[in-house]
Amino acid sequence: MILKDKVALVTGGSRGIGKAIALKLASLGANIVINYEKNQESADNVIKEVESFGVKGLALQCNVADYKSCEDMVKNIAEEFGAVDILVNNAGITRDKLILRMNDEDFSAVLDVNLKGAFNCSKHVASLMLKKKIKGKIVNISSVVGLIGNVGQANYAAAKAGLIGMTKSMAKELGGKEICINAVAPGFIETDMTKVLSEAVIEKMESAIPMKKFGKPEDVAEIVAFLSTPSSNYITGQVINCDGGMVM
Ligand code: NAI
């Protein structure tokens, strides 16, 4: 069990990619805290699955866009588990609109959750890691859209590109303390987020992917697992695409 006795916090862990990450890290022996915003029932169900691996699980409600709530969440985890060894900033939302139809609120909401949310959690977790002298891992779930842009996603692309900039900056700041910060950039993955796409859009997207299919949440979870274990101890500040060859 390569992650035995480690503690991992996965934001937005009650479904989709976050859930797959929580289960994968639990299967490697890590105790798991998932953060959820609204759906306590789904979060509790994920915790039951997590605990079936013989590790501890805890679900904490918190809107990652709120700085103070993130501070309190990290304090709670420190009291319950003593530390956070792995943080996965996965919580994310979309508010897709063409730029001329996108309003101030659409832009800010996406930046607040997808980018500021990752800052809010990273800041408090990194502080705890430094205090406890933990050789920690932070993995940010970005997107290929942050690398190449996408029609209707100026807000989302800005947030995901910003997350890559933050990943590299934090990697430079914290590398000397052996805290590694990396990002994963998924392409199209089968989750609730992509369920809303029309058949026509899905077909068009699939034809543009060399592997001709969307990925699964588990595909992303495998990379996060690699970036969370000692196997990746000399890797920091990197962005790993998980996109069936969409961006190369
Ligand atoms: P999803 O919509 O199924 O899951 C997102 C999770 O974030 C949900 O559990 C939701 O409750 C949580 N969340 C949203 N706002 C929150 C907030 N304010 N505070 C706390 N939690 C909050 O979507 P999916 O696909 O699992 O996405 C996970 C991550 O992967 C997101 O960051 C997304 O941008 C990213 N991603 C997804 C891709 C896809 O094709 N599905 C592609 C590239 C990146």
- Give the residue ranges of the annotated binding site for NADP(+): 12-15, 63-64, 90, 156-160, 189
29, containing H or E segment: none
Domain annotation covers residue 167: yes
Cβ burial of 51 (10 Å; 0-12, 13-18, 19+) is middle
Domain annotation covers residue 102: yes
- Quickly tell me which residue has 């306590």 as its tokens: 40
Distance CA 33, CA 61 (A): 10
Question: Ligand 1 atom 2: the closest Cα is on which residue?
Answer: 193
36 in catalytic set = no
Distances (CA, A) of 101 to 108, 113, 194, 196, 207: 14, 20, 21, 19, 28
Catalytic residue among 36, 67, 156, 234: 156
Domain annotation covers residue 2: no
Domain annotation covers residue 85: yes
Domain annotation covers residue 248: no
CATH number at residue 54: 3.40.50.720
Residue 197's pLDDT band, with cuts at 50, 70 and 90, is confident
Query: What is the per-residue pLDDT across 216-245, written as a single tens digit (0 to 9) for each?
Result: 999 999 999 999 999 999 999 999 999 999
Domain count, the chain: 1
Query: What is the per-residue pLDDT across 34-79, written as a single tens digit (0 to 9) for each?
Result: 999 999 999 999 999 999 999 999 999 999 999 999 999 999 999 9
Query: What is the per-residue pLDDT across 143-191, written as a single tens digit (0 to 9) for each?
Result: 999 999 999 999 999 999 999 999 999 999 999 999 999 999 999 999 9
Token duo for residue 46: 């994920």
Distance 53 CA to ligand 1 centre (A): 24
Residue 125 reports pLDDT greater than 90:
yes
Full residue range of the structural domain in which residue 141 is found? 7-242
Domain annotation covers residue 247: no
- The reported pTM is 0.98
Looking at residue 134, what is its pLDDT? 97
Q: Is 16 in the pocket of ligand 1 (CB under 6 A)?
A: yes
Domain annotation covers residue 77: yes
Q: Is 79 in the pocket of ligand 1 (CB under 6 A)?
A: no
Residue 201 reports pLDDT greater than 90:
no
- C-alpha atoms less than 13 angstroms from C-alpha of 154 in its C-beta half-sphere: 11
Nearest to 186 by CA among 150, 153, 146, 225: 146
126, containing H or E segment: helix 117-131
Question: Ligand 1 atom 34: the closest Cα is on which residue?
Answer: 92
Sort strands 31-36 and 57-61 into parallel, antiparallel or unpaired: parallel
